[in-house]
Amino acid sequence: MKKFINDPNDVVAEALAGIAAAHPGDLRVDTAGQYICRADAPRSGKVALVSGGGSGHEPLHGGFVGPGMLDAACPGEVFTSPVPDQILAATKAVDGGAGVVHVVKNYTGDVMNFQMAAELAADEGVTVETVLVDDDVAVENSTWTAGRRGTGATLLVEKIAGALAEEGGKLAEVAAIGREVNTASGSFAYALTAGTTPAAGRPGFDLPDDEIEVGVGIHGEPGRRREKLRPARDLVRSALDAILEAKPVADGDQVIVLVNGLGGTPLLELYLVYGEVATVLAERGVRIVRRLVGNYVTSLDMAGLSITVTRVTDEMVRLWDAPVRTPGLRWGA
Segments making up each domain of the chain, as ranges: 15-184, 185-311
Q: Say if residues 56 and 12 touch (Cβ distance below 8 Å).
A: no
Mean pLDDT value across residues 11-21: 94
Mean pLDDT value across residues 306-315: 98
Tell me the C-alpha distance between 318 and 330, whole Å.
15
Mean pLDDT value across residues 135-148: 80
CATH of 15-184, picked from 3.30.379.10, 3.40.50.800, 3.40.390.10, 3.40.50.10440, is: 3.40.50.10440
What pLDDT band is residue 142 in, cutting at 50, 70 and 90?
low
End-to-end CA distance of the chain: 40
Give domain 185-311's CATH architecture: 2-Layer Sandwich (3.30)
How many helices (H) and strands (E) are present in the chain, helices listed first?
8, 14
The predicted pLDDT at position 20 comes to 93
Measured torsion, CA atoms of residues 309, 314, 317, 323, in degrees rounded to the nearest 10: -170
Q: Cα angle vertex 210, ends 204, 214, to 5°?
A: 60
The CB density around residue 220, as the number of other CB atoms within 10 Å, is: 25
In terms of pTM, does the model score above 0.85?
yes
Mean pLDDT value across residues 237-256: 96
The predicted pLDDT at position 143 comes to 66
Q: Who contacts 258 (Cβ-Cβ below 8 Å, separation ≥6)?
A: 152, 155, 156, 187, 291, 292, 293, 296, 306, 307, 308, 310
The predicted pLDDT at position 208 comes to 87
The predicted pLDDT at position 144 comes to 61
**Which residues form the catalytic set?**
57, 219
- Tell which residue, 107, 200, 194, has the closest CA to residue 149: 107
b/e 295-319 (16+ beta carbons within 10 angstroms → b): bbbbbbbbbbbbbbbbbbeeebbeb
Mean pLDDT value across residues 95-122: 97
The predicted pLDDT at position 79 comes to 93
- Which residues on neighbouring strands pair with residue 287, listed in sequence order? 254
Pairing of the two strands 330-331 and 100-105? unpaired
The predicted pLDDT at position 59 comes to 97
85-102 per-position pLDDT tens digit: 999 999 999 999 999 999
